[in-house]
Amino acid sequence: MKKTIRYDVNQETVEREVNYIPVRYILAICITVLEVLAVIGILVALCYYVPYFYLAAYATEIFCVIRIIASDDNPDYKVPWLLFVLIVPVAGFMLYFMFYSRKLQRKYVRRLNTLKSHGYRQDDSSLFEQLRTENPAAAAQARMLTNIAECHLFTNTKQQYFPLGEKMFAQLLTDLEAAEKFIYMEYFIIEEGKFWNSILEILKKKAAAGVEVRVLYDDIGCMTTLPGDYSRTLRKYGIEAAPFSRLKGNADSEFNNRSHRKITVIDGKIGYTGGVNLADEYINEVEKFGHWKDTAIRLEGEAVWELTRLFMVDFGINVRKMPTERTDLYPHKPNLSEPGYLIPFGDGPHPIYDRRVGKSVIQNMLGSATRYAYMTSPYLIIDNDLCTDLENAALRGVDVRIMVPHVPDKKLIFWMTQSFYPRLMAAGVKIYEYVPGFLHAKSYLVDDEYAMIGTINLDYRSLVHHFENGVWMYR
């Protein structure tokens, strides 16, 4: 299914034909809705026609309320569910059991654990000791992050920062052209246009030359940007491709099980991440919401290993045949003598990750701030914990600044973002809107010493539901 849309490009209006919700997605959504209605309908019918069955329903509701209260989830998450269960008795607790917790099949868990064990091996105890002698507080932050994200500390890795998507685009094409062994790419959004088509031409050429090329894209993220069977198209070019968490119409948490990650790995030596998806607005080739401000980072060195591992785990849980363990994906690189310490890391939903990794990183950075904390995020929808941390930092004299878009991509989300202004500003937090257009960057900087850049927004879905990734940096 196609639709024609108009964009402003260099002060000229052009038309493009794009995909508009392929039939497969419509069927999956309809199946999910019918499944939910059927389950609720059956339960209501039993309460109405079977004597005393309503007592079992009331007992289940009481159990559900107790379970929500006793859970260790954030109150900002528990209270809406609690109200929903109490206000809508039968449908409320049925939807709770269907959607509240993330259901993982045993086969999925076994494969996930196996893929995690396939990654690289590294003893970074001496590196931690080196960092501890330089700055014990930084070492403590690094230790916490590596523990909760099951990753490692690195140094001697070159870093190149891109203040705009178009800056990253030019360098990315150059690096892709130089690939010799493999190219791995995982993105939330891929859309046909100058950006993706330029990359695709290189990928097709490299695949034909024997380079291993793998592409992973989020199924819902690309719902309106790619055909429903696009992975088949890519496989015809010799590219191994799969959608992340293919939408099948299961009435569980598959709608929340999305990959918001942006990762490119080339030969295990060069890696990219940040906010930039593979669509033309990210490089300002087309204009949707004014000037598009985004950021990205290029890594060169052994810190790229963690990006490779994250991709391999994500790819492995979304293809039929599990990839075999390989050591050639993690090549050693000569000592680059680059300053600073890095931790590329992944984040994701419970129970895949026991703790909120991205939120913990941001909280620790705020806690360490003594002079300033600068943040950019397209959305500002946070829980009370993070809101309090921002307030506390400002109240103790830290210059806390948050930059968000002035031109929104979703008006409802923008209104929710603005609802946080009064509380934060009352504590001394400074909030700025990016006047030229839409700001999509996810960047965090503290005291000229700590930084984090990646895919993590200051919003609930990003901090709780999505698979995300980032790079924590010290000096």
Query: How would you write the pLDDT of the chain (475 residues) with one tens digit per residue?
Result: 555 655 554 556 656 555 556 666 677 777 777 877 888 888 888 888 888 888 888 888 888 888 888 887 777 677 778 888 888 877 787 777 777 766 667 777 788 888 888 888 899 999 999 999 999 999 999 999 999 999 999 998 999 999 999 999 999 999 999 999 999 999 999 998 999 999 999 999 999 999 999 999 999 899 888 888 899 999 999 999 999 988 776 655 555 678 999 999 999 999 999 999 999 999 999 988 999 999 999 999 999 999 999 999 999 999 988 888 888 899 987 677 788 999 999 999 877 888 999 999 999 999 999 999 999 999 999 999 999 999 999 999 999 999 999 999 989 999 999 999 999 999 999 999 999 999 999 999 999 999 999 999 999 889 988 999 999 999 9
Which value, to the nearest 10 degrees, does the dihedral of the CA atoms of residues 438, 441, 442, 443 take?
-130
**Integer CA distances (angstroms), 68 to 7, 65, 81, 252, 466, in order:** 47, 5, 8, 18, 22
Report the number of secondary-structure helices (H) and strands (E) in the chain: 16, 21
Q: Measured between alpha carbons, how far is 230 from 20 in angstroms, rounded to an integer?
A: 14
Tokens 């819902």, residue located? 220
Q: Measured between alpha carbons, how far is 263 from 454 in angstroms, rounded to an integer?
A: 9
Q: What are phi and psi of 389, to 5 degrees?
A: -60, -40
End-to-end alpha-carbon separation of the chain, Å?
49
Q: Measured between alpha carbons, how far is 205 from 237 in angstroms, rounded to an integer?
A: 9
pLDDT score, position 92? 81
Interior CA angle at 114 toward 272 and 148, to 5°?
60
Q: Measured between alpha carbons, how far is 279 from 340 in angstroms, rounded to an integer?
A: 32
Short-list 254, 185, 182, CA closest to 217: 185
pLDDT score, position 13? 63
Contact between residue 256 and residue 102 where contact means Cβ atoms under 8 Å apart:
yes
Q: What are phi and psi of 466, to 5 degrees?
A: -80, 155
| Continuous H helices in 338-383 | 357-368
pLDDT score, position 399? 98
pLDDT score, position 158? 94
Q: Which residues pair with 290 in a beta bridge?
A: 437
Contact between residue 131 and residue 139 where contact means Cβ atoms under 8 Å apart:
yes
What are the residues whose beta carbons fall under 8 Å from the beta carbon of 412, sequence distance 6 or more?
none
Whole-structure pTM value: 0.89
Contact between residue 274 and residue 470 where contact means Cβ atoms under 8 Å apart:
no
Q: What is the DSSP letter of 286?
A: S
Q: What are phi and psi of 154, to 5 degrees?
A: -130, 160
Short-list 227, 330, 254, CA closest to 102: 254
How many CB atoms sit inside 10 A of residue 88's CB?
Answer: 14
| Domains, the chain | 23-99 (no CATH), 106-130+155-338 (3.30.870.10), 357-474 (3.30.870.10)
pLDDT score, position 182? 97
pLDDT score, position 255? 57
DSSP letter for each residue of 292-349: EE--EEEEESTTHHHHHHHHHHHHHTSSSSPPPP-STTS---------SEEEEEEE--
